[in-house]
Each structure stands twice: as C-alpha cells, then as structure tokens.
Amino acid sequence: APGVVVEDDPAANVYPLALRASGKDPVYVGRLRRDFSVENGLNFWCVSDNLRKGAALNTVQIAGELIARDLVRIP
C-alpha cells in the first residue's frame, strides 16, 4: 500500500524502529506473523512519526483517496 514500508527480516535484525521512523512520512511494518488466538488473525509491529503521519499527512492522503474514488468533489 502507498505509504507503507515492510521491514521484516528478524534473522538480519531488520524490523521497524521508532527512531528510524522519526521525521519520515511512511508507516513501517514488520514482525508479521499469524495470530493463533483468532481465525485469520495477524500480528505485526508498526511504527510511524505520529505528528507527521497521524495528523497532517494522513488527512491529505484520506482526502486524496476520497477524491480518487469520486466520493468528494471539489467545486
């Protein structure tokens, strides 16, 4: 998905760290594994810069997606 970076290679110590996400737009996802406590479950670790992604950029991306799906029109 746009804006998502998968970092998942535990053998090489590659997984998402908040320190590396700081000041950047993407959401970093890793440590993907099956969740045996629920059917079709998935566990993962994700990190992002919440000031960038959580507020401003996320709003812009949502607006862009709504426009792309023709759910909102700009007069």
60-73 residue pLDDT tens: 787 788 788 888 77
Measured in residues, the chain has a length of: 75
- Enumerate the domain spans of the chain: 4-68
Percentages helix, strand, coil for the chain, rounded to the nearest 5? Answer: 30, 30, 40
pLDDT at 51: 84
pLDDT in tens, 6-48: 999 989 999 999 999 999 989 899 998 989 998 888 899 999 9
6, β-bridge pairs: 29
What pTM was computed for the model?
Answer: 0.67
